[in-house]
Amino acid sequence: MKLAIAQFNPTIGDLYGNSQQIIDRTKAAATKGVDLMLTPELSLCGYPPRDLLLNPSLISAMTDRLKDIAQQIPNNIMVLVGFAEPNPQAPKVGQKPLYNSMACIYSGQITQVIRKRLLPTYDVFDEDRYFASGEEPGILAFSDHQIGVTICEDLWNDEQFWGHRSYTINPIAELVDHRVDLIVNLSASPFVIGKQRIREAMLSHSAQRHDCPIVYVNQLGGNDDLIFDGRSVAVDRQGAIVGRAQAFKSDLLCIDFDAKNATFQASEVSDPLEDDHTEIWSALVLGVKDYAHKCGFTQAVLGLSGGIDSALVGAIATAALGPENVLGVLMPSPYSSDHSIKDAQDLATNLGFATEMIPIADLMETYDQSLSRIFSGTKSGIAEENIQARIRGAILMAIANKFGRLLISTGNKSELAVGYCTLYGDMSGGLAAISDVPKTRVFSLCHWLNTSVGREVFRTQTSKFDLQQAEIIPNNILTKPPSAELKPNQVDQDSLPPYDKLDDILARMIDQHQSETQIIAAGHETATVQRVMQLVHRAEFKRRQAPPGLKITDRAFGTGWRMPIAAKY
């Protein structure tokens, strides 16, 4: 039996476009002699569809599209397609209205439907809001073989691997009890740093524990804040990886399976991209590219300050959209240093995108005059400094609005965490590209871009970059102290702890949920910890109004972050 993993990039809700991708890949697989092709979880509507699932017309249209797929693919290949299935029992027993299901299409018909059993409701997942749980093990009869079918979370509950059980059932163990020859898993598993290592370790453990091979197909692409990295794999009974699809790219991976002996023949094993910098960079470029294109943008604009954050975002946008589609806007104030302007211009020259310079001194003076009466008798401070950021935000939004460009904001996770950012100023935009990237990681990514590995990765994404060029990020940007330049001689560490200390405190507080006492015990000063924690709490109202940000860590300020604003704790 020959299997194919169809790892592709769906657009949420685009039933026609997604089904056409399934049809095209099925036809391509049929020419390779494939018997069974797998597609990702909810592949017909894309994952996660969120409240689109509350639209009855979308649900009924999915059933129609499944029938169209069945009529348009070759009869001699079986295809597993993920879709949202109406729950006929919902009106009678108060169940959720849908199932997260898989349709088996063969010989022009939908021959079987299998339902997801474990519904995650944590972090970015909210499946219990929409779906009822499937009650029976998913067993697919194919020729003389029994194939166990699972959907995403069904695979993630091995109590031996995790050291605990999150659900009362283990669908994998139940399928093995039914003596299946092979287990397949249709997934839409979002990317976070290092997750592929965990996935493959878990798959290897389960395959060895149950003496059963596993084939895992994962979704690809950026959908809003979530990025799906692909990297679908096949694991033999001994837990060895015998096939791996490409990372962050569409792929059609074909694998020969000897069902009689439950063994695979050697297949393509792509590079898993286990280096953190390559992983993060690839994810961010894919996230920006898909967010722009799926929202109808072909061009982007960003504010170019000469600092490290806008340098990284400029490089990401260039790789994602091409230098010809990126505009960097310099908006110097009386406090902007000459080297910041030069650094910004040097960056744009290195990356090959156009720039515009719009000085804001006259606008600042106009604001000062307009506010002079109501501000009289007060000391100049943060309010006046923030006006500069808001002038810049308004200029960038005007350019984005006038020319139909996506405004990409340049704030990092450290700043967003403690509120070192300005509402309606540098927080303006349609996408926050690095809002889940801590400042220390911003620096390390920029240093990595200037290495031979980073320059080669960048070159493959934009052919206009000269590999002989000494640097992508100008060295002065990498070495100067970070500064918002909103007042004379300002640097970030006038207001914040050193970024290495700040980022460690934030990681312990946000990612590891450590208490004040635990963070202090780890070696941080009491006053610093208390101040940082207070800043994080006070900035919640800002984060609620921030643009969508691409998720690369387990704990991002996005759909999985649900903190109250008006609270004391």
pLDDT in tens, 426-449: 999 999 999 999 999 999 999 999
Span 514-532, mean pLDDT?
Answer: 96
> Is 80 exceeded by the pLDDT of residue 490?
no
Q: How far is the CA of 283 from the CAs of 4, 192, 316, 445, 556, in angstroms?
A: 24, 9, 10, 13, 14
Amino acid at 121: T
Token pair recorded at residue 234: 């096949």
pLDDT at res. 471: 87
116 is catalytic: yes
Separation of alpha carbons 490 and 221, rounded Å: 40
pLDDT at 402: 97
Q: Report how far apart, in Å, the C-alpha atoms of 422 and of each of 240, 358, 482 are.
A: 50, 20, 16
**Residue ranges with strand state E in 310-395:** 326-330, 354-357
Q: What is the pLDDT of residue 143?
A: 80
When pLDDT is cut at 50, 70 and 90, the band that residue 492 belongs to is low
Token couple for 421: 């950012």
pLDDT of residue 499: 93
* Mean predicted lDDT score pLDDT of the chain: 93
244 in Cβ contact with 270 (< 8 Å): yes
Q: pTM for the complete prediction?
A: 0.94
* pLDDT score of 106 more than 90: yes
Alpha helices, H only, 32-182: 56-72, 90-93, 159-162, 171-177
pLDDT band at residue 91 under the 50/70/90 scheme: confident
* pLDDT band at residue 322 under the 50/70/90 scheme: very high
Confidence of residue 486 (pLDDT cuts 50, 70, 90): low
Q: Phi/psi of residue 77, each to 5°?
A: -130, 135
| Identified catalytic residue from 104, 152, 212, 446 | 152
Q: What percent of the chain has pLDDT over 70?
A: 97
pLDDT of residue 469: 67
Identify the weakest region by mean pLDDT among 123-127, 418-422, 484-488: 484-488
Q: What is the reported pLDDT for 95? A: 84
Q: Would you say residue 294 has pLDDT above 90? A: yes
Write down the catalytic residue from 45, 85, 116, 385.
116
Quick check: is 212 catalytic? no
- Decide if 45 is catalytic: no
Q: For residue 91, what are its two tokens?
A: 């009106």
Note whether 100 and 115 are within 8 A (CB): yes
Q: Is the pLDDT of residue 162 over 70?
A: yes
Pair 22, 6: CB distance under 8 Å: yes
- Confidence category of residue 335, pLDDT binned at 50, 70, 90: confident
pLDDT band at 468 (very low <50, low <70, confident <90, very high): low
pLDDT (0 to 100) of residue 487? 66
Mean of pLDDT values over 309-327: 97
Q: Torsions phi, psi of 358, nearest 5?
A: -130, 95
Lowest pLDDT segment from 50-64, 134-148, 255-269, 400-414: 255-269
> Where does the pLDDT of residue 327 fall: very low under 50, low under 70, confident under 90, or very high at 90 and above?
very high
Strand ranges in 410-558 using DSSP code E only, listed in sequence order: 431-432
Written as one letter, the residue type at 497 is P
The candidate with the shortest Cα–Cα distance to 310, out of 282, 279, 341, 275, is 341
Q: In the prediction, which pLDDT does 566 show?
A: 92
pLDDT higher than 60, residue 467? no
Which H/E stretch holds residue 384? helix 382-403
Q: Poorest-confidence range of 64-73, 270-279, 365-374, 406-415?
A: 270-279
**Residue 462 pLDDT:** 79
* pLDDT on residue 264: 87
Residue 15: band (very low, low, confident or very high) from pLDDT cuts 50, 70, 90: very high
Let me know the angle formed at the C-alpha of 197 by 187 and 266, rounded to the nearest 5 degrees: 75
> Which residues, in sequence order, are CB contacts of 446 under 8 Å at separation 6+?
308, 311, 312, 315, 473, 477, 478
In whole angstroms, give the CA distance from residue 465 to residue 413: 28
Q: How far, in Å, are 261, 380, 553, 560, 565 from residue 301 at the CA level?
A: 57, 31, 26, 28, 31
- Token look-up 């979002």 returns 190
Give the DSSP H/E element, type plus range, for residue 229: strand 226-229
Tens digits of residue pLDDT in 388-398: 999 999 999 99
Question: Residue 184 forms beta bridges with which residues?
Answer: 149, 215
Model confidence at 521, pLDDT cuts 50, 70, 90, reads very high
Q: What is the mean pLDDT of residues 536-541?
A: 96
